[in-house]
Amino acid sequence: MNYDPNLVLCGRMATQTVRLTFGQWEYRKTMEVTVDGNLQGLSVIEAAVENALDELLKGCVEDATIILVNEKGDELLCELDEIDDDCLRDMLISAEIIDIYSKARSPSCPLKIVPETHEGELKPCPFCGGKAKNYSRYSNIGRLLHFAGCEACSAETSHREDMEQAIAAWNRRDGNA
C-alpha cells in the first residue's frame, strides 16, 4: 500500500481502513474498520478501536460478546459488560492501516501510475540517483494533478495540472532553468 500522508494534511479528509487483531492467549479476532477524518498515526489506530467497539455494539441490547477463536476453532466468548474501550485496547495485539483514500475520490480510483511512455524523459533523482516515475492523482476537489517522484527515496515535485510541467520541474537542476 502506498500510504500518502498528504491526504490528511492541512485539514484534508480521508477514509482509512484499519485491520485490527484482538487477542487473549491463543484466541484471536481480526476486524477491518474504517476511520474518517484527518487523523494520522496512532490517532487513526485509537479511532479504529473505538469504531470496532461501536461495531460490536451494533444491534445489541444486552448479552453482546466479542468472540475470539483459536487455531483449532475453539471459541472464547468475552461478554460485553466485561469489555469497554479500555479493555478492548488492552486486547489489541496488532493494528495496520491497509488503505487510505481521499474523500474526493472513491476507493476504486487509487493513485494512478501514468503509462511508462514518459519514463524515459525523466532524469534520475537529484538526491539519491534513484529511478523516477510520473504519477497522477486526484486532488481533494476531484481535479487530476500530475507529479514526478523517486521510487527509492520518495522525493517528488509539486503537483501540476500538466504532465509536461511536472516532467520539466523534475528535470530542472541548478544551472538550467
pLDDT digits (tens, 9 = 90+) for 23-69: 999 999 999 999 988 888 899 999 999 888 888 877 676 656 789 99
| Predicted confidence (pLDDT) at residue 16 exceeds the cutoff of 50 | yes
List b or e across 7-41, with b for residues whose CB sees 16 or more CB atoms inside 10 angstroms: bbeeeeebbbbbebebbeeebbbebebebebebee
Mean pLDDT, the chain, rounded, equals 80
Instruction: Tell me if 163 sits within 8 A of 172, measured CB to CB.
Output: no
Q: With cut-offs at 50, 70 and 90, classify the pLDDT of residue 161.
A: confident
CA contacts within 13 A on the Cβ side of 141: 1
Q: What is the pLDDT of residue 24?
A: 93
Q: With cut-offs at 50, 70 and 90, classify the pLDDT of residue 102.
A: confident
| Predicted confidence (pLDDT) at residue 109 exceeds the cutoff of 50 | no
Q: How far is CA 18 from CA 21, 43, 71, 113, in A?
A: 10, 12, 23, 24
Q: What is the pLDDT of residue 139?
A: 67
Q: Looking at per-residue confidence, does 8 or 99 come out higher?
A: 99
Overall average pLDDT of the 124-145 stretch: 81
User: For the whole prediction, is pTM greater than 0.75?
Assistant: no
Domains along the chain?
Answer: 5-102 (no CATH), 112-171 (2.20.25)
